[in-house]
Amino acid sequence: MQGPTGAQSILTTAISLKSITRRFGDVLALDAIDLAIAEGEFFAMLGPSGSGKTTCLRVIAGFEQPSSGELSIFGARAETVPPYKRNVNTVFQDYALFPHLNVIDNVAYSLMLRQVPKAERYAKAEEALEMVKLAGYGARRPGQLSGGQRQRVALARALINQPKVLLLDEPLGALDLKLREQMQEELKSLQRRLGITFIFVTHDQGEAMSMADRIAVFNLGKIMQVGTPEEVYLRPASRFVADFVGSSNVLPPEFVGRLTGNPGWASLRPEAVTVTPGAGANLTGTVVSRNYLGATTRLVVDMGGQRIHAVVPSGASVPMEGTPVAIAFDPAALHRMSDAP
Amino acid sequence: MSTAGNGFTEHRHGALTKVSDLFWRRPNLLVFLLLLPPLLWLGVIYVGALLALLLQSFYAIDEFTGMVDYDVLTLKTYRELFNPANLDIIIRTVLMASVVTLASAVIAFPIAYMAARYVRGKWKAMFYLAVMLPLWSSYLVKIYAWKLILAKEGILNWLFEQLHLTGLLQAYLALPVVGGGSLSISYTGTFLVFVYVWMPFMILPTQAALERVPVNLTDASSDLGATPWQTFRHVIFPLALPGIIAGSIFTFSLTLGDYIIPQIIGSSRLFIGQAVYAHQGTAGNIPLAAAFSVVPIVIMGLYLWMAQRRGAFDAL
């Protein structure tokens, strides 16, 4: 299981979607999607449920055929290629391990299909299990494993083929928080080590930002924005992205006009806002809620009907609910957005 | 226990309340009481009758008096089972049951798969209705209906005639073993009616088993490089197998024991059920009838043992 050693081949396009549309009856699950994913990239598709991200992944895997548009995998047209002929493997949301096979037969499944001799395929499967830190678990049934272990078996099974692209459909969704964070680390280091293109679908913006090189934000079958986590977080292209990625303050044109004299939609990160007790200053309001989060405290300040979220360092100076406060922020932190939703 | 007066407990003292309280404190008692009647039924009436049957088969009939000799336990009756004539009956029945089971499984699978995978809501109700509907009418009525369908003057012959295929049917009926004077007096006729009558018993368990196979296993298999045929062979079929086995237990054992269908439709050669019927009735040879009844039980036991050994129930 070796990855490409020359990891700088980053500019090869692994997956390219041109105007991919997928209809289910009257529902437009994918609405003319354009996307290019480079080889070796860790790419996240982020969006709420029903946004089309999973359909997009299933089109790449071959479980769904696009209604129209062009899909290329490493330059070769793939819309009509069945999944079993694509060198793309998937880790499924609920792992989809075969319950009637033990762990090693699950992992060696694709080798069995290709009639690799038993000894050889078991040796390879054991190697793959070692890679996901499950050496020696081969004889167990999937039903005897914990969620995290099943996840690793699914990963080993998908990677044993040495696919060029690995697709992960909400791979960590069923795990508890602690395990999820640990698996995030492991997935990331595995991807670095193997140099395989990882495309993963998630509705958790924190997960997408901490793991991915680039993120595509989906909504209503369209891609709202593609960019690095920093770009998407700091410079959201639209209200939806600002709101979905990290719960920014989305400020309406009139309010922004009052602040800057220049109306237009804008976003403001909660951690860019400072809150000081006392009235009289230019921007004043009242604290309406106060949530202690450990290192930080989340405040909601009501400013004449407009609510502003602020995340401030916890400490004695954090104002209590009902206190009049003044807020301030660096004008550069106010990010202008287009009028599109 | 008593915290009267603090508003924590409610004061209800009826006899039924006492019983409820007792069951609440001792849940096993309730389970025991609920299970007692069915266990008695199963133990005394069901298993007891089977054991009595088994015992009968170890007696033998006295050739001179024609009476059952209840003084000696003997294997003589079982030896009689292996007479060429009786062995023929057993082999004929087992072969018929096997072929019926195989055909039922092959025909039922696509129907069950379709129902489990693609049919939803209203159409699913229609499916159940369509499968169960034949069970609502009398078994005898259905068999006589089939006798008319298969008869020389029946609709099937007429259909072959309209399609100018009478020659084909005649050629088929001229074949040894499966053929005969007409479909209604051939083994083929018996086979068709058996398959028709037991079909729901194969479709429903197969469908239930397929229903429990998550769809994403099919995706996963094809993702890992399996062609649809390989996915069927390595994933769908093994996971549906417990259901198919359950269905085959019905079709196999019902065919082994049936004595009405072969009597009405088919050649006049006997099946096990008919032999049991004849020996316990007119011939008055209860021990031989009992020994004949033990045959399907032994065969089913062997069948299940083999299925279990080959891992048919691993996916349960």
Report the pLDDT value the prediction gives residue A247, as an integer from 0 to 100: 74
A211 vs chain B: nearest CA distance in angstroms?
24
| Cβ–Cβ < 8 Å for B222, A89 | no
Q: What does the block give as tokens for A313?
A: 């360092």
B211 vs chain A: nearest CA distance in angstroms?
14
Q: Is B314 exposed, middle or buried (0-12, 13-18, 19+ CB in 10 A)?
A: middle
Interface contacts A/B by beta carbons within 8 Å: 65
Checking phi first, is residue A94 left (phi over 0); if not, alpha (psi -120 to 50) or beta?
alpha
Angle at B40 between CA B39 and CA B43, to 5 degrees: 80
CA distance B215 to B218: 6
CB-closest option in B216, B226, B234 to A92: B216
Under the banding of pLDDT at 50, 70 and 90, the label for residue B5 is low
Q: Which residues of B touch A (CB under 8 A)?
A: 214, 216-217, 219-227, 230, 234-235, 238-239, 314-315
In chain B, % of residues over pLDDT 90: 45
A84 vs chain B: nearest CA distance in angstroms?
4
Nearest residue to A278 via CA among A309, A249, A301: A301
What is the amino acid identity at position A290? R
Contact B225 A84 (CB under 8 A): yes
Contact A89 B223 (CB under 8 A): yes
- Confirm whether the ipTM is greater than 0.85: no
Report the pLDDT value the prediction gives residue A7, as an integer from 0 to 100: 42
Backbone angles phi, psi at B126, to 5 degrees: -60, -40
A21 vs chain B: nearest CA distance in angstroms?
21
- The DSSP element (H or E) to which B258 belongs, if any, is none
Contact B314 A83 (CB under 8 A): no
Q: Sort out which chain B residues have CB atoms less than 8 A from A199's CB and list them.
A: none
Q: Tell me the pairing of strands A266-268 and A42-46.
A: unpaired
| C-alpha distance from residue B183 to each of B98, B153, B154, B256, B268 (Å) | 20, 11, 10, 21, 13
Report the pLDDT value the prediction gives residue B308, as an integer from 0 to 100: 83
CA distance B206 to B245: 8
A171 vs chain B: nearest CA distance in angstroms?
14
Contact A82 B222 (CB under 8 A): yes
Q: Sort out which chain A residues have CB atoms less than 8 A from B217's CB and list them.
A: 96, 98
Given a cut of 80, whether residue B129 has pLDDT beyond it is yes
CB-closest option in B214, B223, B234 to A90: B223
Report the pLDDT value the prediction gives residue A2, as an integer from 0 to 100: 40
Given a cut of 50, whether residue B90 has pLDDT beyond it is yes
Report the pLDDT value the prediction gives residue B63, as an integer from 0 to 100: 78
Q: Sort out which chain A residues have CB atoms less than 8 A from B220's CB and list them.
A: 90, 92, 96-98
| C-alpha distance from residue B63 to each of A308, B69, B288 (Å) | 105, 10, 13
Report the pLDDT value the prediction gives residue A8, as an integer from 0 to 100: 44
A183 vs chain B: nearest CA distance in angstroms?
21
CB-closest option in A93, A100, A109 to B224: A109
CA distance A268 to A288: 19
DSSP state letters, A150-187: HHHHHHHHHHTT--SEEEEESTTTTS-HHHHHHHHHHH
Contact A84 B226 (CB under 8 A): yes
Q: Sort out which chain A residues have CB atoms less than 8 A from B243's CB and list them.
A: none
Q: Sort out which chain A residues have CB atoms less than 8 A from B226's CB and list them.
A: 84, 109-110, 113
pLDDT tens string, chain A, 341 residues long: the values are 344 444 444 468 999 999 999 999 899 999 999 999 999 999 999 999 989 999 999 999 999 999 999 999 998 999 889 999 998 999 998 899 999 899 999 999 999 999 999 999 999 999 999 988 898 899 999 999 988 899 999 999 999 988 989 999 988 887 888 888 888 888 999 899 988 999 999 998 888 998 999 999 999 999 999 999 999 988 888 889 988 887 788 888 888 888 777 888 888 888 888 888 876 667 788 899 999 988 999 999 998 888 899 998 988 788 888 888 888 888 888 888 887 77
Contact A109 B234 (CB under 8 A): yes
Q: Report the SS3 class of residue B282.
A: coil
A89 vs chain B: nearest CA distance in angstroms?
6
| Cβ–Cβ < 8 Å for A221, A31 | yes
CA distance A230 to A199: 18
Contact B220 A96 (CB under 8 A): yes
Candidates B217, B219, B221, B223: best to mutate against A (most CBs of A within 10 A) is B223
CB-closest option in B222, B226, B315 to A99: B315
Q: What is the pLDDT of residues B165-210, one digit of tens each?
A: 888 888 998 888 888 888 888 999 999 999 999 999 999 999 999 9
